[in-house]
Amino acid sequence: MMDVDDFKNGQLILIDKPLNWTSFQVVNKLRWVIRKKFNIKKIKVGHAGTLDPLATGLLIICTGKFTKKLNLLQAETKEYTGTITLGATTPSFDLETKINKTFPTEHLTDKTIKDATNLFIGEIDQKPPLYSAIKKDGVRLYELARKGETTEIKSRKTTIFEFEITKIELLDVSFRVICSKGTYIRSLANDFGITLKSGAHLSALRRTKSGDYNIDDAITLEVFIEKLNNSIDN
């Protein structure tokens, strides 16, 4: 049985983030249900690493005093699985925006696709997408991008430890990536398309691991809320 002190002293919650939810919305939902359940005005709740709305998977949530651990948790190595679609690009590098350019793909083979992953292993320079949560002058880049405003983004160092192609089905390439903190898989997909001279965008993404934590141990928002409501008397 959990009480309000458990959440104030600190809980670490592994949530399987649903599609079309922002990480911020998940945090807000959890904060609201905890406050409502215990009839309290304030409770600290935060997450250890943003997932895009179109991504699903492992979102580490901390409450109370455990929010002090968020920076350390966020710095951990991450694992993702997903799908890169070749032959076309989008401004957001994923399906948030519509295709803006198409490219020939007749020159592609399974071998050239798999071999291209080797060029991304190790420390690389990566530019974050224009549609990202990075702030410039206090405004998030995706807010500027949605208004049609562009801005110069500096490249960042990131490390790709593993980049494996797990399946190739026509132009849809399934992959698994293990990478350092701050890696944008959308940018990796876009750069992958540039390398192959075919264009590419990210069409599916799921975070499967973060540090020692695994998606297999995560629960949905609905299950967490149900467990919370059933753990104590109203």
193 neighbors 86 (Cβ within 8 angstroms): yes
Domain ranges of the chain: 4-75+212-231, 78-210
pLDDT tens, residue by residue, 179-227: 999 899 999 999 999 999 999 999 999 999 999 999 999 999 999 999 9
Q: What pLDDT is attached to residue 141?
A: 62
Greater model confidence, 211 or 138? 211
**Widest distance between CA atoms in the chain:** 64
CATH node for 78-210: 3.30.2350.10
Choose among 158, 162, 133, 159: nearest CA to 145: 133
pTM score of the predicted model: 0.91
d(CA 142, CA 104) in angstroms, rounded, equals 29
State the pLDDT at residue 129.
Answer: 82
pLDDT for res 144? 55
The H-or-E segment that residue 14 falls in is: strand 12-17
pLDDT digits (tens, 9 = 90+) for 152-184: 678 899 999 999 999 999 999 999 999 999 899
Q: Which residues are catalytic?
A: 52
Q: In CATH, which of 3.30.70, 3.40.30, 1.10.10, 2.60.120 is domain 4-75+212-231? A: 3.30.70
Burial class (CB in 10 A: 0-12, 13-18, 19+), 52: buried
